[in-house]
Structures are given as structure tokens and as C-alpha cells.
């Protein structure tokens, strides 16, 4: 229980593997679209206004509150959201919600290829939970996304992807305006993610990244563990697989060529690594994204 008596269905002592992995806002069914948009009211009331702690393997989300209140716990940090507030949740972050009865807003869910397709400069921002007040421009973009999601058309998916990139860049700029200097650990994470974006296909090891940042591998591993809740090796693997998702979903390159570009000389080994991360073969993933 929290100090004010709200039950969270969450324990910071629970090992990560025991935390359920959802594909949507409280659901375990297949992700139905390249981007998903739904109302808080429609989903939260089905769960008695409580979404228990969970994480998404390859999906990030934006929660926007229009009316009522939400208490969110993201990787152990508690945040209270009211009308006009938004929360960005990166993939793999453990999170849960308690909504006031009748709360309303929007939940936007983005598959990994959407965020992986943004510029490397966005990577540090996208890697961490973020929150803030919704600007008029960002609110208008969410309205446009809701309307586009409900529409039909030959280029609906392309419009949704474009709007997603503009929305994420807009709220990132809103949070960075006037931000103070970053903590040294945050600066190391920012520099690490920038290096990963530049050298993803070069076969760099954890030792290579540590050397480029002039720290020991153990120290860099501790920084990543504190920031991401996973090892440096796991963080590098996640970045590699996110890029694989982007190339598979948004290019027509043969799967073997994608694997080769990412440093895999053996296509079958690339397929096994991808399946280990996402539970399905690259060809199955591509077909599912195309079908949506």
C-alpha cells in the first residue's frame, strides 16, 4: 500500500521476469496496429480503474489525462497526473496505474520501429520515462492522431508514423526547454546512446563503448543498471534488436541482408537472436506488421 492507502499491485522487490509483459494497455493479445490509440475511460473501467504493474517488450506509450486523476508508478517512481498532464513510458519500463473513477484521456502506443526510426539525437530522451504539461501544439497533434487512427485511407499508416514522430519531438522539446544541467550519470547514458546509434552495426563490444567514454566496463555497466534496470550487454542487445525491428518493418531489404548489416554473418543465427528477443521469427514479424 502507498502512504495514502492506494493499492498498487506492485513490488520493487519482485524480479523482472515475474512482471507480466503486455502488448497493450492491460492486454496480452497481439498488437493490432502499427500505432494504437484508445481512450482511458474505455480501458480503465474494465479493470476497476487499476492497471497492475507490467511492462511492454517492444512498445512505448504516451498517456494524456484530460479529466480526473491518475497515479502512475514507473520503475518505482510515483507520479500524480491531472488534466493537461502527459506521461511517456519507454519500452521495458515497469509501470502501473490507479485512476480516479471516470478519469478520461488518451493512451497512444508505439511499436519499437516507430521510435527506432527517429534521429539518434532523440535516443537519450526516448530511453527514459518523461512527464510534463501538454502544450497547445502537442494537444492538437494528439487530436490529429486520434482522428487519423479512426480513419481509413491508403496512406493511413504513413500519416500515423509521421504524426507520431512530430508528437514525440514536440513533447521532447517542451521538456528540454529550460532544463537544468544533466547529472554525470545521465550525461554518460546520453553519450552511450549516441555512440550506439553511430556504431550499432560495427560490432562494438561493451569494452569498446566503455573505452570510448573513458570509463571502465564495470562502471559503465553500473550506470546502465541504475538507469535502465538491465546490464550493459542487455542494453546493447535491445538497441540492436530495435534497429532490426525498424529495418524489418519499414524496408524491403531481404532478412539475410538486414542481419548482415547488423553484424550477423549467419542468417539463421540472426533469426534465432530475434526470436529470443521477441518470441517470433523475423519473417513472421514482418508479415504481422504488413498485415496491420
pLDDT of residue 177: 65
Q: Which residue shows C-alpha cell 493479445?
A: 29
pLDDT of residue 141: 95
**pLDDT per residue as tens digits for the range 233-283:** 988 988 888 888 888 887 888 999 999 989 898 999 999 999 988 889 999
> For residue 101, what are the CA distances in angstroms to 33, 40, 44, 46?
28, 11, 9, 11
**Which CATH number does 184-291 carry?**
1.10.10.60
User: Counting Cβ atoms within 10 Å, is residue 33 exposed (0-12), middle (13-18) or buried (19+)?
Assistant: middle
**pLDDT per residue as tens digits for the range 35-46:** 889 999 998 888
3-state SS record for the chain: CCCCCCCCCCCCCCCHHHCCECCECCECCCCCCCEEEEEHHHHHHHHCCEEEEEECCCEEEEEEEEECCEEEEECCEEEEECCCEEEEECCCCCEEEEECCCCEEEEEEEEHHHHHCCCHHHHHHHCCCEEEECCHHHHHHHHHHHHHHHCCCCCHHHHHHHHHHHHHHHHHHHHHCCCCCCCHHHHHHHHHHHHHHHHHHHCCCHHHHHHHCCCCHHHHHHHHHHHHCCCHHHHHHHHHHHHHHHHHHHCCCCHHHHHHHCCCCCHHHHHHHHHHHHCCCHHHHHHHHHHC
Which triple of cell numbers denotes residue 276?
A: 529470443
pLDDT of residue 57: 76
Angstrom distance (rounded) from CA 114 to CA 1:
36
Q: Which residue shows C-alpha cell 480503474?
A: 49
Beta strands at 130-133 and 85-89: parallel, antiparallel or unpaired: antiparallel
Residue numbers of the chain with a pLDDT score lower than 70: 1-33, 177-184, 292
Question: Residue 171: CB partners within 8 Å, gap ≥ 6?
Answer: 62, 86, 88, 130, 132, 134, 135, 138
Angstrom distance (rounded) from CA 194 to CA 290:
30
pLDDT of residue 131: 93
pLDDT of residue 182: 53
Q: Give the start-to-end residue ranges of the domains of the chain.
A: 16-176, 184-291
For the packed helices 184-199 and 217-228, what is the interaxial angle rounded to 10 degrees? 100
CATH of 16-176, one of 2.60.120.280, 3.30.70.20, 1.10.10.10, 3.90.1150.10: 2.60.120.280
pLDDT of residue 8: 31
Which triple of cell numbers denotes residue 130?
A: 518523461
Going by C-alpha positions, the residue among 74, 109, 71 that lies closest to residue 94 is 74
Amino acid at each position: 500500500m502507498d502512504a495514502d492507502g492506494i493499492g498498487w499491485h506492485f513490488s520493487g522487490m519482485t524480479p523482472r521476469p515475474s512482471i507480466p509483459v503486455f502488448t497493450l494497455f492491460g492486454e496480452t493479445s497481439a498488437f493490432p496496429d502499427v500505432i494504437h490509440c484508445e481512450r482511458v475511460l474505455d480501458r480503465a473501467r474494465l479493470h476497476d480503474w487499476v492497471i497492475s504493474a507490467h511492462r511492454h517488450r517492444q512498445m512505448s506509450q504516451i498517456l494524456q489525462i484530460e479529466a480526473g486523476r491518475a497515479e502512475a508508478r514507473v520503475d518505482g517512481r510515483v507520479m500524480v497526473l491531472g488534466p493537461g498532464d502527459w506521461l511517456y513510458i519507454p519500452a521495458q519500463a515497469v509501470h502501473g496505474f490507479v485512476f480516479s473513477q471516470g478519469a478520461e484521456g488518451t493512451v497512444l502506443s508505439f511499436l519499437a520501429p516507430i521510435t527506432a526510426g527517429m534521429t539518434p539525437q532523440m535516443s537519450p530522451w526516448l530511453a527514459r520515462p518523461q512527464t510534463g504539461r501538454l502544450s497547445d501544439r502537442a494537444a492538437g497533434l494528439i487530436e490529429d492522431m486520434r482522428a487519423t487512427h479512426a480513419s481509413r485511407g491508403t496512406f493511413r499508416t504513413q500519416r500515423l508514423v509521421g504524426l507520431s514522430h512530430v508528437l514525440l519531438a514536440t513533447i521532447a522539446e517542451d521538456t528540454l526547454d529550460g532544463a537544468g544541467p544533466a547529472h554525470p550519470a545521465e550525461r554518460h547514458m546520453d553519450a552511450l546512446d549516441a555512440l550506439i546509434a553511430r556504431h550499432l552495426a560495427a560490432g562494438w563490444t561493451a569494452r569498446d563503448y566503455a573505452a570510448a567514454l573513458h570509463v571502465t566496463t564495470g562502471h559503465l555497466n553500473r550506470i546502465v543498471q541504475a538507469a535502465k534496470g538491465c546490464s550493459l550487454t542487455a542494453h546493447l542487445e535491445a538497441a540492436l534488436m530495435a534497429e532490426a525491428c525498424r529495418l524489418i518493418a519499414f524496408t524491403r531489404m531481404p532478412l539475410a541482408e538486414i542481419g548482415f548489416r547488423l553484424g550477423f554473418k549467419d542468417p539463421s543465427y540472426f533469426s534465432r537472436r530475434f526470436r529470443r528477443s521477441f518470441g517470433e521469427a523475423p519473417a513472421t514479424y514482418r508479415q504481422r506488421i504488413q498485415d496491420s
